[in-house]
């Protein structure tokens, strides 16, 4: 006859199994590891993303870079300023379209990237330590499919 007792009558909050919770925690973990690795090099995520995109796809406009790296245009500006100040990239007006800048990675940028690569690999390894090779592939596959579904402007 008594109403539900005040203690733990709800089974609804299985937060520990909520994917959004797990992803949030995994990101925090991953970000902590990355910050540690990047920090030593005086670099942060945006810098690496931009350099890596330049390395992978060649010179590009800032808008293109932003799309490829999922960085907002305005943040691309700031990050590129910092990279340019260190001589890691070069900004030059696009002769074919005077709205655009052409961003080119400089030798120092490539060098920075190569210095970062092993650090990054180490972070991946540490993050995925508990998983077998097959499971790592699984995880990558599942996350990739999640993101394909993300309809971003």
Residue 1 within binding range of a second copy, rule CB under 8 A = no
Shortest distance (Å) from residue 12 CB to DNA? 20
Cα(10)–Cα(3) distance, rounded to whole angstroms? Answer: 13
* Contact present, 65 and 71 (Cβ < 8 Å): yes
Annotate each residue in 24-43 with x if it binds a second copy (CB under 8 A) or - if it does not, as one string. Answer: xxxxxxxx-xx---------
87: left (phi over 0), alpha (psi -120 to 50) or beta: left
Query: Please, which residue, 26 or 135, has the CB nearer to DNA?
Result: 26
Query: Please, which residue, 63 or 117, has the CB nearer to DNA?
Result: 63
Shortest distance (Å) from residue 47 CB to DNA? 7
Residues that bind DNA (CB under 7 A): 24-25, 27-28, 31-32, 34-35, 39, 44-46, 61-64, 66, 70-78, 80-81, 91, 97-101
Give the chain's count of helices (H) and strands (E): 6, 2
Shortest distance (Å) from residue 152 CB to DNA? 7
Query: Under rule CB under 8 A, which residues in 53-112 are in contact with a second copy?
Result: 53, 55-58, 70
Q: What are phi and psi of 102, to 5 degrees?
A: -100, 125
Closest CA to 108 of 37, 40, 54: 54
Cα(3)–Cα(84) distance, rounded to whole angstroms? Answer: 67
Query: Under rule CB under 8 A, which residues in 129-148 are in contact with a second copy?
Result: 129-131, 135-136, 138-140, 142-148
């Amino acid at each position: 006859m008594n109403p539900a007792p005040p203690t733990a009558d709800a089974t609804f909050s299985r937060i520990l199994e909520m994917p959004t919770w797990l992803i949030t925690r995994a990101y925090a973990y991953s970000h902590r590891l990355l910050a540690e690795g990047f920090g030593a090099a005086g670099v942060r995520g945006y810098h690496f993303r931009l350099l890596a995109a330049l390395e992978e796809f060649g010179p590009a406009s800032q808008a293109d870079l932003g799309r490829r790296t999922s960085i907002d245009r305005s943040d691309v500006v700031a990050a590129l300023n910092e990279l340019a100040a260190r001589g890691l990239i070069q900004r030059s007006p696009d002769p074919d379209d005077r709205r655009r800048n052409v961003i080119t990675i400089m030798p120092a940028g490539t060098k920075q990237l190569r210095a970062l690569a092993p650090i990054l690999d180490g972070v991946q390894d540490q993050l995925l330590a508990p998983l077998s090779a097959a499971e790592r592939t699984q995880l990558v596959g599942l996350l990739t499919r999640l993101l394909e579904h993300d309809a971003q402007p």
